[in-house]
Amino acid sequence: MVQDDMNVLERELKDVNASTVRMLSMVREAVELAKRSLLEGDAEASERCIAGDDAIDAQQHALEQRILAIIARRQPTARDLRFLGSVFRSLADIERVGDYAVHVARAGAELAKQPPVKKYLDMTRILVILDQMLEVTMRALTDEDADVARSVLVMDDEIDELYEQIQRELLTYMMADPKTITPATKLLAVARYLERCGDHIENVNEHIVFWLTGERL
């Protein structure tokens, strides 16, 4: 009977892991749609990103309830309990990335209505890094690999540097030409949304490292 309970718990843990990876995949798609809205002025992509946010929220809620039920029914210990706690804490971070993607998608649709203040080379780079971070996070979870999770932390450093560069550039534009203040302010907000996406993905990987090693970063 004890062995049966262990097998059931193992299956439930694997299902939680797979469902978390699916949620990350949903968020990755949201970031891709936000990218198309911002860089290509794709109004349909913006609408799809916004519409898809409810499904991400629902996935978060369902996973939270499932984790609490597993803890209550199975009373896991040690590494299994660390896994469930780490995923539970990660869900809010993953959901926030989806929220920020929606903010970027909305801003992209608005910015597309007027000539761009600047080329989006640095923001393009940030979006590429975010996609890579999400892909690597999914692999860290699937493969249960702490070293892979740690590699994401370094990737976020480049986003922080790019964000500071964007801030300086846009402030220069605003001081040189008051007409750019409104769109440049919106772009500053977009850059901040993207930077926060990186921070939340970093948080998820810190939780993964704690699950796998017991180490708090």
**Residue 102, pLDDT score:** 98
Q: What is the mean pLDDT of residues 86-108?
A: 98
CATH number for the domain harbouring residue 76: 1.20.58.220
pTM for this structure? 0.94
> 213 vs 27, 75, 132, 145, 205, CA distance in Å?
26, 20, 23, 10, 12
Tokens of 55: 């499904």
Helix (H, G, I), strand (E, B) or coil at 200: helix
Task: Work out the pLDDT band at 4, boundaries 50, 70, 90.
Answer: low
**Residue 116, pLDDT score:** 86
pLDDT at position 156 over 70: yes
**Residue 7, pLDDT score:** 86
Nearby residues of 112 by Cβ (< 8 Å), 6 or more positions away: 37, 41, 43
pLDDT at position 135 over 80: yes
Range of the domain at 86: 2-213
Tokens of 214: 């017991």
pLDDT at position 3 over 60: no
Q: What total of structural domains would you count in the chain?
A: 1
**Residue 114, pLDDT score:** 86
Q: What is the mean pLDDT of residues 80-85?
A: 97
**Residue 5, pLDDT score:** 59
Task: Work out the pLDDT band at 117, boundaries 50, 70, 90.
Answer: confident
Q: What is the mean pLDDT of residues 206-211?
A: 98
Check: CB of residue 78 under 8 Å from CB of residue 31: no
**Residue 174, pLDDT score:** 93
pLDDT at position 164 over 60: yes
